[in-house]
Amino acid sequence: MPQIMERLKYLLLNNKIAKLIEILAVFIVAGFIIFIFLEPGPDNLINNQIVLWVANILMLIMVWLGIKIRGESWESLGLGLKKQSLKSILKTVLRSLLVFIIAMTGFIIGSIIMANIVGIPEGANMSNYSFLKDNFGMLLLMLAGVYIVSSFGEEVIYRGFLITRFSQFGTVTKTSKILAVILSAIIFGFAHYSWGPMGIVQTFFMGLALGFCYIYMKRNLWVLILAHAYMDTILMVQMYLASN
């Protein structure tokens, strides 16, 4: 077993095909769960939300396995766990507010581009959240879930994991980082296919904004997680108010 693990470690660190397989494996596992257990229809909204959460958690586990095999820690993706001073915490919060504004700007740019291409388009499809109607307790439960699965999980997977892994396919240069950000944003956009074409374009540009912020802020993932949490809070509260 130790020899197998050392071989896997060597391949993940040095072999491009192994790196690609690792990335594919993370998404294939999630895709398999979604394909098997997702049930279309308005009567299965809560069940489908749970399926999506489980799929994302399994993706996080796969990412963690890759980190462990490499002999690294979460810090390799930008999740430093060192004790922070009050000043550094405040700086992180202020930066997250800036990133939030930048990400929302990207989201709006996506909307404007779609409007110029196809006219005033249909809004992103949010019907999957109709179960929030008249249910404040469900809103609180959803917020707790999205903070873990979406705010934390998506930033780890689509920014920390994908951008780091894509940029490691060759010599880490400015160009390779830009390509990594673009690829991660494309995947992030299509991951929101259930939102419809509008949602895919919006989240693509939001992913671009978050990706470049990740690089510019020296891969501090906590800043992005906080910014994503602000957006998720606004989205969930908006869905709750709209359903009522």
Measured CA to CA, the distance from residue 185 to residue 161 in angstroms comes to: 12
Structure confidence at residue 57 (pLDDT): 94
Neighbour count for residue 69 (Cβ, 10 Å): 18
Query: 198 and 124 in contact (C-beta within 8 Å)?
Result: yes
Query: 209 and 103 in contact (C-beta within 8 Å)?
Result: yes
The domain tally of the chain equals 1
Instruction: Give the torsion through C-alpha atoms of 216, 221, 226, 229, to 10 deg.
Output: 110
Give the chain's length.
244
Instruction: Measure CA 116 to chain center.
Output: 27
- In the chain (244 residues long), the average pLDDT of successive 10-residue segments reads 86 92 95 88 76 93 95 92 85 96 95 80 60 79 90 96 92 86 96 86 96 94 96 87 71
- What φ, ψ does residue 39 adopt, rounded to 5°? -120, 110
Structure confidence at residue 128 (pLDDT): 64
The parent domain of residue 14 ranges over 2-243
